[in-house]
Amino acid sequence: MRIDSTMSRKTRRPLFVAAALALLALTRPAAAAEFDDVSAKTFFNLHGCNSCHAPVEFRIGPPYQAIGTRWSNDPEGRVQILAAKIRYGGVGAWGMVPMVSNPNITADEAEAISRWILAQRPAPAEQGAADARK
Ligand code: HEC
């Protein structure tokens, strides 16, 4: 079927919608990876993150919950910063111990796992206990 001026508006509209959707599919080939609690745990094990990070307690690096809480005023604004730190390493946000680089982690993976980390918060009971210690 050819798209030309002899076609009515009604016939053409669905074609344009289809073309727009196809273009969208082309420019964004794979839906960005998303992590849930289980796949995040697998990811951390696979890449050795767990040797320095735990959900709640400090190890060599900050716990995921502390990272999520710290940047909770602007998690979306932090995604790229954390993703860069995961891929290239970095130091200075939590102390003088550096975070190692992970060149084998893709930009998409780093962004997705950053989103998961930034969504972490202490459970209400832990939060209450933390407030009680203040
Ligand atoms: C050798 C120990 C070590 C390993 C392995 C490690 N990290 Fe880190 N990570 C750290 C340290 C230490 C920091 C704090 C750096 C700083 O003060 O800026 C950190 C910081 C971070 C931050 C940024 C926190 C912030 O607020 O800026 C994220 C996110 C993070 N790590 C995720 C990961 C992930 C994901 C992995 C696995 C791919 C990983 N880390 C592996 C030690 C480690």
Residue 118: give its domain's CATH number. Answer: 1.10.760.10
Secondary structure of residue 99 in the 3-state scheme: strand
116 and 53, same domain (yes or no):
yes
19 and 48, same domain (yes or no):
no
84 and 49, same domain (yes or no):
yes
Q: What is the reported pLDDT for 9?
A: 60
Decide: 48 in ligand 1 pocket, CB within 6 A: yes
Question: Can you tell me the distance from the alpha carbon of 22 to that of 29, in angstroms, rounded to the nearest whole number?
Answer: 10
pTM assigned to the model:
0.78
Alpha carbon of 99 to ligand 1 centroid (Å): 5
15 and 78, same domain (yes or no):
no
60 and 13, same domain (yes or no):
no
* Length of the chain measured in residues: 134
Mutate which of 88, 96, 99 for ligand 1? The one with the most ligand atoms within 8 Å of its CB, which is 99
Start-to-end CA span in the chain (Å)? 72
Biggest distance spanned by C-alpha atoms of the chain = 76
Q: Which range has the worst mean pLDDT, 19-28, 40-49, 86-95?
A: 19-28
Q: Which ligand 1 atom is nearest residue 49's CA?
A: 37
Secondary structure of residue 34 in the 3-state scheme: coil
Residue 133 has pLDDT above 90, yes or no: no
Question: Can you tell me the distance from the alpha carbon of 100 to that of 37, in angstroms, rounded to the nearest whole number?
Answer: 23
Q: What is the reported pLDDT for 28?
A: 45
Q: Which is nearest to 110 in space by CA: 92, 85, 93?
A: 85
44 and 83, same domain (yes or no):
yes
24 and 88, same domain (yes or no):
no
Q: Which domain holds residue 17?
A: 1-30
Q: How many domains does the chain have?
A: 2
64 and 7, same domain (yes or no):
no
Q: Which is nearest to 69 in space by CA: 129, 120, 35, 123?
A: 120
Alpha carbon of 67 to ligand 1 centroid (Å): 10
Q: What is the average pLDDT value for the chain, to the nearest integer?
A: 84
Decide: 117 in ligand 1 pocket, CB within 6 A: yes
Alpha carbon of 48 to ligand 1 centroid (Å): 11
42 and 93, same domain (yes or no):
yes
94 and 76, same domain (yes or no):
yes
- Tens-place pLDDT, residues 61-117: 999 999 999 999 999 999 999 999 999 999 999 999 999 999 999 999 999 999 999
Q: Dig out the tokens for 51 from the structure.
A: 């040797």
Question: Can you tell me the distance from the alpha carbon of 35 to that of 65, in angstroms, rounded to the nearest whole number?
Answer: 16
DSSP-assigned letters across all residues of 43-64: HHHHHTGGGT--SSS-SSS--H
